[in-house]
Amino acid sequence: MPDTGLCLEALSALSGCNVGSTTGSSPLTPQDFVNIVALREFYKQQGLEQLEYPGVGSLSLEEQDRDMYSSPPALTEDPGLQESQRASVKINLEEFFHPQFNYDFTSVRDGDTVFLRGNEPYVRPCGWSRVALRVSRKYDGNDRWLGTGKDAWPVSYHAHNMDGSLGIILTHDGIPENEPGFLDAAAASLTTGDTKGRGAYSTPDIKMAEKYCKVFKSKVDGKTYKVVLQNRINPEKRKKCQREDVWLVYVPEGSNPVQTTAIVQESIRPYGLLLKQL
């Protein structure tokens, strides 16, 4: 497993919080982090300036862009003025990470080998190091969603800045039933450049995720890293977009913050923190 401090920095960079460790109970789970990352991008897309999240408080949606290439410090460090204004949270490392399922893809080259998850292609994150998150037996039902069989959920990658600014619209197969006139609006977006796909974006292609990922310089070792979340996505909640390498979890117009969070939580489940040294 990569250095614990480095993992905390990566979570800090993704979430915009100061993330530290504790031996006690933690209010945040791996699911909360994918919620925060997805909701940050969605609400920023909607023109909002802050995200309120239980157990964290108020998160600025502008702060991440101003500080694109540095991570907030771990809580053991002395923060500067701007960093001291960030929300601070702590996680229990033993409850949060699952080292048994860590995997080093840094020297792996799959070539033409095809892997499947839920009978859909799984593009493994070759070139990255995966820190496994403890999510087994954390959801209702069973762990089939996390497996390799036909009942497993497909793999997606969530990257910072991967949102509606991509100018991606839904295809005919992904038209939300509760938004009349969606086709006309989508067609208009082809010429105007507007985005009509409201929600959380992710991709099955790690190379595309890398283009939009968060980059931070570690205070642990002075090196620069890219960070991405590796997830499973509910195939019944996912909408395929015009581009085959982009998926959308649609959030209907009029959804309140609680409903929006519930939609993301029912649709995207994280299971790996991916790091790649530059």
In the chain, the number of structural domains is: 1
Pairing assessment for the beta strands 214-217 and 247-250 based on DSSP bridges = unpaired
CB 214 within 8 A of CB 227: yes
Mind listing the pLDDT tens digit for each residue in 109-130? 999 999 999 999 999 999 999 9
Pairing assessment for the beta strands 224-233 and 238-240 based on DSSP bridges = unpaired
Q: Can you give the residue range of the structural domain that contains 241?
A: 4-277
Q: Which long-range contacts (CB under 8 A, 24 or more apart) does 25-28 make?
A: 25/92, 26/89, 26/90, 26/91, 26/92, 26/95, 26/96, 27/54, 27/55, 27/89, 28/55, 28/56, 28/89, 28/91
Length of the chain: 278
Mind listing the pLDDT tens digit for each residue in 161-199? 765 555 455 544 444 454 545 445 444 444 444 445 788
Predicted local confidence at residue 72, as pLDDT: 47
